[in-house]
Amino acid sequence: MGTPVPDNAPMSGFMGSGKQMGTEQDERKVRPRRRWRRWLWITPCALALFSIVQVVVLRFVDPPFSTVMALRQVEAWGQGDWGFRIHYQWRDLDAMAASVPISLVAAEDQRFPLHNGFDLEAIEKAMDHNARGKRLRGGSTISQQVAKNLFLWQGRSWLRKGLEAWYTVLIEALWSKRRILEMYANVAEFGDGVYGVQAASRQFWGKDAARLSPAESARLAAVLPSPRRYSATRPGPFVQRRAAWIQRQARQLGGPGYAVDGE
């Protein structure tokens, strides 16, 4: 038997031990919460820093592929199409026909040299157009499309739109307009699995992008709303009308200099 404890013996030792155990248990509960809080701000900061490094590097380095290209290749393999291959060849803007950049700007973003990545005027017009029940029209700028095609994925979600806006801000802040347009001309899809003006020129007409005629450049730009549906080599009525309109718009904008002048 143990030694009995007198009724009047002090209990401070037992109480102190109980308080210590309670404190340790509280600490164990608090530590995971602190870790989660730490990760809640460390993770977004790390991702933001990574995205900034991505954009800075690609200001000087030509990408070997884009996220959209990689996902398209994986999609084809997932469907059992093991022979599917992405066609992509980088070409500097100076190595393309002068009619290429102005055709892209005339077709997709006529205020490209003037805005800072987001064209509020075009967005308002697109919303008004869509509200009247007409064919859906987007208000995305060339900068936004570069952000989506180079770094993100196809589809509609608030997450993707948020990331698209973030990357758009970065490339507008860290790249020249010329670099943005050069990137767009190289990563835009002009046919199923055909990315960039050089690959499209080779696949469709068997020649280098430097030898494209104004009409051919306009037809390439004309298929951009849906490059897997429309053909630049076998243009239907829609592509023919749109290509003619693009050529007229290119002349009215002032020709090639409008698209590439200014940094």
Average pLDDT, the chain: 85
Question: What value does the mean pLDDT take over residues 41-47?
Answer: 81
pLDDT at 11: 47
Question: Is there a contact between 198 and 90 (Cβ–Cβ < 8 Å)?
Answer: yes
The CB-side HSE value for 113 (13 A sphere, CA atoms) comes to 16
pLDDT at 257: 85
Which of 61, 82, 117 is at the close of a domain? 61
CB atoms within 10 A of CB 2: 4
In the three-class reduction of DSSP (H, G, I as helix; E, B as strand; rest coil), residue 195 is classed as: strand
CB atoms within 10 A of CB 85: 10
CB neighbour list of residue 56: distance below 8 Å, 6 or more residues apart: 174
CB neighbour list of residue 183: distance below 8 Å, 6 or more residues apart: 58, 63, 146, 150, 171, 175
Query: Which is more confidently placed, 96 or 44?
Result: 96
Sheet holding 189-191, edge to edge: 87-88, 194-195, 189-191
Instruction: Look at 9-13, 19-23, 119-123 and tell me which has the smallest mean pLDDT.
Output: 9-13
Percent of the chain with pLDDT over 70: 77
The pLDDT of residue 20 is above 70: no
Answer yes or no: do 94 and 160 share one domain. yes
Answer yes or no: do 140 and 240 share one domain. yes
Confidence of residue 93 (pLDDT cuts 50, 70, 90): very high
Report the alpha-carbon distance of residue 97 to residue 208 in Å, rounded: 9
CB neighbour list of residue 262: distance below 8 Å, 6 or more residues apart: 113, 177
Q: The domain that contains 98 carries what CATH number?
A: 1.10.3810.10
Question: What value does the mean pLDDT take over residues 103-112?
Answer: 95
In degrees rounded to 5, what are phi and psi of residue 232?
-80, -25
pLDDT at 259: 78
Question: What value does the mean pLDDT take over residues 99-117?
Answer: 94
In the three-class reduction of DSSP (H, G, I as helix; E, B as strand; rest coil), residue 88 is classed as: strand
pLDDT at 163: 93
pLDDT at 201: 97
pLDDT digits 0-9 by tens, 129-143: 555 555 545 578 999
Residue 118 lies in a domain: yes
Residue 9 lies in a domain: no
Question: Is there a contact between 169 and 117 (Cβ–Cβ < 8 Å)?
Answer: yes
Domain that holds residue 29: 19-61
Question: Is there a contact between 225 and 136 (Cβ–Cβ < 8 Å)?
Answer: no
Answer yes or no: do 256 and 130 share one domain. yes
Question: Is there a contact between 200 and 86 (Cβ–Cβ < 8 Å)?
Answer: no
Answer yes or no: do 148 and 197 share one domain. yes
What is the number of domains present in the chain?
Answer: 2
Confidence of residue 237 (pLDDT cuts 50, 70, 90): very high
Work out whether the CA dihedral 195, 199, 203, 209 comes out positive or negative.
positive
Question: What value does the mean pLDDT take over residues 155-166?
Answer: 88
Answer yes or no: do 178 and 255 share one domain. yes
The pLDDT of residue 41 is above 80: no
Confidence of residue 29 (pLDDT cuts 50, 70, 90): low
Q: Which of 179, 149, 175, 178 is nearest to 164 (CA)?
A: 149
In the three-class reduction of DSSP (H, G, I as helix; E, B as strand; rest coil), residue 190 is classed as: strand
The pLDDT of residue 14 is above 50: no
Answer yes or no: do 68 and 28 share one domain. no
Q: Which of 62, 90, 55 is nearest to 163 (CA)?
A: 55
Residue 6 lies in a domain: no
State in Å, rounded, how far the first CA of the chain is from the last one.
Answer: 92
Instruction: Look at 96-105, 109-118, 135-144, 249-258 and tell me which has the smallest mean pLDDT.
Output: 135-144
pLDDT at 129: 54
Question: What value does the mean pLDDT take over residues 124-129?
Answer: 61
Confidence of residue 19 (pLDDT cuts 50, 70, 90): low
